[in-house]
């Protein structure tokens, strides 16, 4: 594939009212909100539809069914968060959720229905059936489709694919823009804006085993950290219990909804084992299920356990989980008759760039939303299917805050020019993105040039980081192992030259965040939610019912 290097050291300079980095649910929802007040440019490092949102299978949680209550959703979320949720953030999520879901439906999102009513299912740790889904197991893809369609219809909302953001621009303590590389031709660009929103998703690619797409390299968190922003709760990585464990195949996520529909877990000896670990068995919180699976794998000296869906008919599975069923079939597994080998894999980061309830970070002019942000809504362990809802709700709220905070009289686009400001490539409409996608695909600059498609030295160092994180800082951690991981990571020196392209930038971002994650994990001397310390196996509210915080060049601290 082609690896582009900048053709010139002089970046092209551009101005917009608002810049949004990331085209998942949080970024798109914020951009749509912002379009009411000026010109907005959304940057995506790969295709616009290549985000964790589009990969989301299970669904989106919301208290809309006749049997449900907002208060129950709130309590379930707090219970799952294991004593670390920010109550005011949870209240905002569950109370605002129904309004924004209804709006999604108005905008054309087609959730599955039972007759004329919305169809809800149940997932682990939910006390009610409150999970909306679309096309069975393609919920995120449907939401992404609807939001992109809405965004494309707004003249002064521009979307640019294959634009990799490398750093933030700060002036007098305020974020005033960013720099990015256009991967279709290697040109450098400098974008100035009244406000910047980071919505780049998670950092699953930091681990050897992950369900995340290749684009999940924590770019937003890393560039915010480099600019001086506070990162919070970075030790809390959620590991999904059931990723497809077939040698040579990607760790395709087998949705928690499978267990919600009656799937059971069996060890290598075909024994059902979850009763030994939790009274809710297969529907226990994710961290408990993941650790139970690891314990069974260690006890039986195996590399996987099995997910058993054979009590369900082929007809049911094809209708309810069409994408999962077909993917398994492509690997020679018929879920209606075969046991699916599964193992845990890194899935979702509860931490990120610390924000308040309106998306403000610790840096003026910089906002964050979705998995990139740490609002405290998930606490130490995210409740299943709350992530899409968080991106939707807090994306909209961050957009509202950015408009309210914008300096009066400083808009550079729609408000002053009376029409759409030019895109960096000279075009004026969102529809131009389709052309750019085509050019990028022709040149080989697609989503597949992420981790692992860079120069050999970058690939080797990335493999090392992912192996260290998986072995010493994953589902079960110990102080000795974490200290060793930090030492190994500190010995790694990613290449500083920009000639390594996007892969080199992603490597540096992952290296930065690996050190942040291991340092905060070592500092938290307790076990809570997704963070399990073998040397401190109990929760310690007296010392650690607090959120970790880390800034570049400073020590880890814990704060309320």
Give a yes or no: residue 265 inside a domain.
yes
What number is the average pLDDT over the span 65-69?
Answer: 94
Q: Which residues contact 455 (CB under 8 A, 6 or more apart)?
A: 3, 500, 501, 503, 504
What confidence tens digit (pLDDT) does each residue in 162-201 have?
999 999 999 999 999 999 999 999 999 999 999 999 999 9
Query: Which conformational region is residue 59 in: left (phi greater than 0), alpha (psi within -120 to 50 degrees), or beta?
Result: left
Q: What is the pLDDT of residue 441?
A: 32
- Tokens 């597949």 belong to which residue? 448
DSSP 528: B
Give a yes or no: residue 415 inside a domain.
no
Domains contained in the chain, number: 1
Q: What is the pLDDT of residue 499?
A: 66
Give a yes or no: residue 35 inside a domain.
no
What confidence tens digit (pLDDT) does each residue in 44-62 have?
999 998 877 777 777 999 9
Mean pLDDT estimate for the chain:
89
Phi, psi dihedrals of residue 108, rounded to the nearest 5°: 105, 5
DSSP 246: -
CA–CA dist 370, 353 (Å, integer): 10
Q: 388, 453, 373, 462: which is closest to 1 by C-alpha?
A: 453
Give a yes or no: residue 470 inside a domain.
no
Catalytic center residues: 286
Given a cut of 50, whether residue 230 has pLDDT beyond it is yes
Q: What is the pLDDT of residue 251?
A: 87
60-61: strand order across its sheet: 60-61, 131-132, 120-121
Give a yes or no: residue 281 inside a domain.
yes
- Tokens 């100035």 belong to which residue? 192
What number is the average pLDDT over the span 478-505?
Answer: 91
Give a yes or no: residue 307 inside a domain.
yes
Q: Which residues contact 417 (CB under 8 A, 6 or more apart)?
A: none
Q: What is the CATH number of the domain that holds 305?
A: 3.90.700.10
How many Å is the Cα radius of gyration of the chain? 22
Give a yes or no: residue 54 inside a domain.
no
3-class DSSP assignment, residue 531: strand
**Strands 117-118, 113-114: parallel, antiparallel or unpaired by DSSP?**
antiparallel
Boundaries of domain holding 281: 237-347
What confidence tens digit (pLDDT) does each residue in 421-451 have?
344 443 334 444 433 333 333 333 333 334 4
pLDDT cut 70: percent of the chain above it = 89
Give a yes or no: residue 436 inside a domain.
no
CA–CA dist 406, 424 (Å, integer): 22
């Amino acid at each position: 594939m082609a690896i582009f290097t900048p053709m010139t050291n002089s970046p092209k300079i551009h101005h917009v009212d608002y810049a949004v980095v990331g085209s998942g649910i949080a970024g798109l929802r914020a951009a749509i909100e912002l379009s009411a007040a000026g010109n907005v440019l959304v940057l995506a490092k790969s295709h616009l539809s290549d985000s964790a949102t589009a990969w989301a299978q299970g669904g989106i949680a919301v208290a809309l069914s006749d049997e449900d209550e907002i208060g129950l959703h709130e309590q379930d979320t707090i219970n799952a968060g294991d004593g670390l949720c920010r109550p005011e953030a949870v209240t905002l999520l569950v109370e605002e959720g129904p309004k924004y879901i209804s709006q999604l439906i108005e905008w054309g999102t087609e959730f599955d229905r039972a007759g004329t009513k919305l169809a809800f299912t149940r997932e682990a740790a939910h006390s009610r059936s409150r999970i909306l889904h679309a096309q069975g197991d393609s919920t995120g893809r449907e939401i992404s489709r609807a939001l992109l369609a809405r965004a494309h219809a707004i003249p002064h909302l521009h979307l640019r694919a294959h634009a990799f953001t490398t750093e933030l621009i700060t002036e007098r303590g305020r974020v005033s823009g960013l720099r990015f590389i256009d991967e279709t031709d290697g040109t450098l660009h400098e974008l100035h804006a009244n406000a910047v929103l980071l919505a780049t998703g998670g950092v699953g690619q930091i681990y050897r085993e992950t369900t995340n797409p290749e684009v999940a390299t924590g770019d937003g968190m890393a560039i915010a950290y480099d600019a001086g922003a506070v990162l919070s709760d970075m030790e809390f990585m959620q590991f999904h219990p059931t990723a497809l464990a077939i040698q040579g195949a990607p760790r395709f996520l087998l949705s928690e909804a499978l267990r919600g529909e009656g799937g059971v877990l069996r060890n290598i000896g075909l024994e059902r084992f979850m009763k030994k670990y939790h009274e809710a068995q297969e529907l226990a919180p994710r961290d408990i299920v993941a650790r139970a699976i690891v314990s069974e794998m260690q006890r039986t000296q195996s590399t996987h356990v099995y997910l058993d869906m054979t009590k369900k008919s082929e007809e049911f599975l094809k209708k309810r989980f069409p994408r999962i069923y077909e993917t398994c079939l492509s690997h020679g597994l018929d879920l209606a008759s075969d046991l699916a080998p599964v193992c845990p894999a890194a899935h979702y980061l509860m931490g990120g760039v610390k924000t308040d309830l309106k998306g403000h970070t610790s840096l003026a002019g910089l906002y964050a939303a979705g998995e990139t942000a740490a609002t405290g809504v998930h606490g130490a362990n995210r409740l299943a299917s709350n992530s899409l809802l968080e991106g939707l709700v807090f994306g909209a709220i961050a957009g509202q805050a950015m408009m309210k905070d914008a300096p009066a009289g400083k808009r550079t686009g729609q408000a002053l020019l009376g029409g759409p400001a030019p895109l960096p490539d000279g075009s004026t409409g969102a529809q131009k993105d389709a052309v750019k996608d085509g050019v990028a695909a022709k040149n080989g600059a697609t989503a597949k040039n992420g981790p692992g498609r860079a120069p050999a030295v970058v690939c080797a160092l990335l493999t090392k980081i992912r192996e260290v994180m998986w072995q010493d800082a994953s589902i079960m951690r110990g102080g000795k192992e974490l200290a060793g991981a930090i030492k190994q990571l500190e010995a790694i020196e990613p290449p500083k030259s920009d000639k390594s392209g996007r892969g080199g930038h992603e490597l540096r971002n992952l290296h930065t965040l690996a050190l942040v994650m291991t340092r905060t994990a070592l500092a938290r001397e307790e076990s809570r939610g997704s963070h399990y310390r073998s040397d401190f196996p109990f929760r310690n509210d007296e010392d650690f019912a607090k959120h970790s915080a880390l800034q570049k060049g400073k020590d880890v601290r814990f704060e309320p």
